[in-house]
Structure 1
Amino acid sequence: MKINLIEKNINDIKADIEIIFINDLDNCADKEVLESIDFKAKDEACTLLAESKKIYVGYEEASYDSIAIASANAVRKIASTKYESAKLTLNSDLEENFKSLVEGAFLGEYKFTKYKSKKEEKKKLTLEMAVNNKTNELENILKESKTIAKAVNKARDMVNTPPQDFYPAVMADIAKDIAKDTNIEIKVEGEKYLKKNGMNSMLSVGRASIHESKLIHLSYKPKDAKVKVVLVGKGLTYDSGGLSLKPADFMVTMKSDKSGGCAVLSSIWAIAKLGLPVEVHAIVGAVENMIGGDAYKPDDVLTAKNGKTIEVRNTDAEGRLVLADCLCYAQDEIKDIDYIFDYATLTGACVVGVGQYTSGVMGNSDELKCKAVSSAKAAGEYATSLDFNRYLRKSIKSEIADVCNIANTRYGGAITAGIFLDNFIYEENKNKWIHFDIAGPAFVEKQWGYNPHGASGAGVRFTVELLKDLAK
Structure 2
Amino acid sequence: MNIKLSKKYLKNIDSDIELVVVKDLKKLEKNRQKLLKKISFDLKSFDTYFDANENIFYVSCPKLKKEDLKLCFSSAIRNIKKLNIKSVKFDLVQNNKELNIGEIVEGLVLGAYDFTKYKSEKKKSKKINITISITKSKNEEEILEKDLENALAITSSVNMVRSIVNTPPEDYFPATMANDAKNIASENNLQCIIHGEDYLVENGMNAMFNVGRASRHESQLIHLSYKPKEPKGKIVLVGKGLTYDSGGLSLKVGGSMVSMKCDKGGGSAVLGIMNTLKALSCEYEVHGIIGAVENMIGGDAYKPDDVLVAKNGTTIEVRNTDAEGRLVLADCLCYAQDEIKDIDYIFDYATLTGACIVALGNETIGTMGHSDKLKQKMQKAADSSGELIGILPFNRYLPKQLKSGIADIVNSTSSRAAGSITAGLFLNNFVKKENKKKWLHLDIAGAAYSESPWGYHSFGGTGAGIRITLDFIKNLKK
TM-score norm. by structure 1 comes to 0.98
8 Å contact from structure 1 (residues 396, 405) kept in 2: yes
What is the CA–CA distance in structure 2 between the aligned matches of 1:458 and 1:214, rounded to whole Å?
22
Counterpart for residue 123 of structure 2: 120
Counterpart for residue 452 of structure 2: 446
Any stretches of 5+ residues in structure 2 without a counterpart? none
* 3-state SS in 2 of match to 1:180: helix
Q: Residue 463 of structure 1: which of 441, 462, 469 is its match?
A: 469
Counterpart for residue 374 of structure 2: 368
What is the CA–CA distance in structure 1 between the aligned matches of 2:392 and 2:141, rounded to whole Å?
41
Counterpart for residue 278 of structure 2: 272
Once the two structures are aligned, what percentage of the paired residues are identical?
Answer: 53
* 3-state SS in 1 of match to 2:319: coil
What is the CA–CA distance in structure 2 between the aligned matches of 1:471 and 1:184, rounded to whole Å?
22
**Equivalent runs, 1:65-464 vs 2, <5 Å:** 65-91=67-93, 95-131=98-134, 132-133=136-137, 134-464=140-470
* 3-state SS in 1 of match to 2:402: coil
For the pair 1:34 / 2:8, whether they are aligned, the reply is no
What is the CA–CA distance in structure 1 between the aligned matches of 2:411 and 2:64, rounded to whole Å?
45
* 3-state SS in 2 of match to 1:243: coil
* 3-state SS in 1 of match to 2:85: coil
What is the CA–CA distance in structure 2 between the aligned matches of 1:293 and 1:225, rounded to whole Å?
48
What is the CA–CA distance in structure 1 between the aligned matches of 2:83 and 2:73, rounded to whole Å?
16
What is the CA deviation profile of residues 18-55 of structure 1, one whole-angstrom value per residue up to 9, with x for unaligned ones? 11111112232322222222211123322222222121
8 Å contact from structure 1 (residues 358, 381) kept in 2: yes
Matched to 2:24, the amino acid is D
What is the CA–CA distance in structure 1 between the aligned matches of 2:401 and 2:99, rounded to whole Å?
48
* 3-state SS in 1 of match to 2:276: helix
Matched to 2:354, the amino acid is G
8 Å contact from structure 2 (residues 21, 94) kept in 1: no
8 Å contact from structure 2 (residues 240, 266) kept in 1: yes
Moved more, 332-341 or 319-328: 332-341
Counterpart for residue 17 of structure 2: 17
Moved more, 188-197 or 47-56: 47-56
Q: 1:369 to 1:5 in 2, by over 3 A?
A: same
What is the CA–CA distance in structure 2 between the aligned matches of 1:272 and 1:406, rounded to whole Å?
39
Moved more, 145-154 or 83-92: 83-92
What is the CA deviation profile of residues 181-200 of structure 1, one whole-angstrom value per residue up to 9, with x for unaligned ones? 11111000000000000000
Moved more, 222-231 or 83-92: 83-92
CA shift, 1:288, in A, is 0.3
Matched to 1:125, the amino acid is I
* 3-state SS in 2 of match to 1:280: strand
Task: Give the root-mean-square deviation of aligned CA atoms.
Answer: 1.3
8 Å contact from structure 2 (residues 20, 94) kept in 1: no
CA shift, 1:96, in A, is 4.2
CA shift, 1:263, in A, is 0.3
8 Å contact from structure 1 (residues 217, 281) kept in 2: yes
CA shift, 1:385, in A, is 1.2
CA shift, 1:128, in A, is 1.1
Any stretches of 5+ residues in structure 1 without a counterpart? none
Matched to 2:2, the amino acid is K
CA shift, 1:92, in A, is 5.7
What is the CA–CA distance in structure 1 between the aligned matches of 2:380 and 2:45, rounded to whole Å?
23
Moved more, 29-38 or 336-345: 29-38
Counterpart for residue 56 of structure 1: 58
8 Å contact from structure 1 (residues 227, 471) kept in 2: no
* 3-state SS in 1 of match to 2:279: helix
Moved more, 31-40 or 215-224: 31-40
CA shift, 1:76, in A, is 1.2
